[in-house]
Amino acid sequence: MSGNNSSSTVFGSSSMAKSRLVCYCGVESPLVTAWTDENPGRRFHGCGKYFQRRKCSFFRWFDPEVPERRKKLIRGLLKKNDAMKKKEKKLEFTIVVLGMLLFLSLFVIFIKLGMM
Ligand SMILES: [Zn+2]
């Protein structure tokens, strides 16, 4: 196989100097974070060619199993995060609308003043 150092960009995370694992392909196995409902935030080592066609079945959990309590907590946090983002967007929209209204009323006032 050739080009075995193209995987690091795929995963986006750079610093995995501490734990170096090599999958069955002989490629350095990156640490990936799972975001499934069953294992939210749990990291695992997968095949270094995970997103390519010729991947092997290498799989090893890095973090211990996520306790049910923590799963719930993480899910809740993720939901909260989502809600906050939505709120932020609403606020942004409100500010834009208010700004436009202010501009409009100033415009009207100026026109009226100009007519006098
Ligand atoms: Zn592999």
In a domain, 46, yes or no: yes
User: How far is it, in rounded angstroms, from Cα 30 to Cα 21?
Assistant: 8
In a domain, 112, yes or no: no
Average pLDDT of the chain? 83
In a domain, 81, yes or no: no
pLDDT tens figures, 71-102: 889 889 989 999 999 999 999 999 999 999 99
Residue range of the domain that includes 48: 7-66
In a domain, 38, yes or no: yes
Rounded to the nearest angstrom, the distance between the alpha carbon of 36 and the centre of ligand 1 is 21
What local confidence, expressed as pLDDT, does residue 50 receive? Answer: 74
In a domain, 111, yes or no: no
Rounded to the nearest angstrom, the distance between the alpha carbon of 38 and the centre of ligand 1 is 24
In a domain, 75, yes or no: no
Rounded to the nearest angstrom, the distance between the alpha carbon of 2 and the centre of ligand 1 is 13
In a domain, 43, yes or no: yes
Rounded to the nearest angstrom, the distance between the alpha carbon of 60 and the centre of ligand 1 is 12
The total number of structural domains in the chain stands at 1
- Answering whether pTM is above 0.85, one says no
Q: Which SS3 state, helix, strand or coil, does residue 41 take? A: strand
H runs (alpha helix) in the chain: 7-11, 68-115
Rounded to the nearest angstrom, the distance between the alpha carbon of 75 and the centre of ligand 1 is 30
Are residues 29 and 23 in contact, defined by beta-carbon separation less than 8 angstroms?
yes
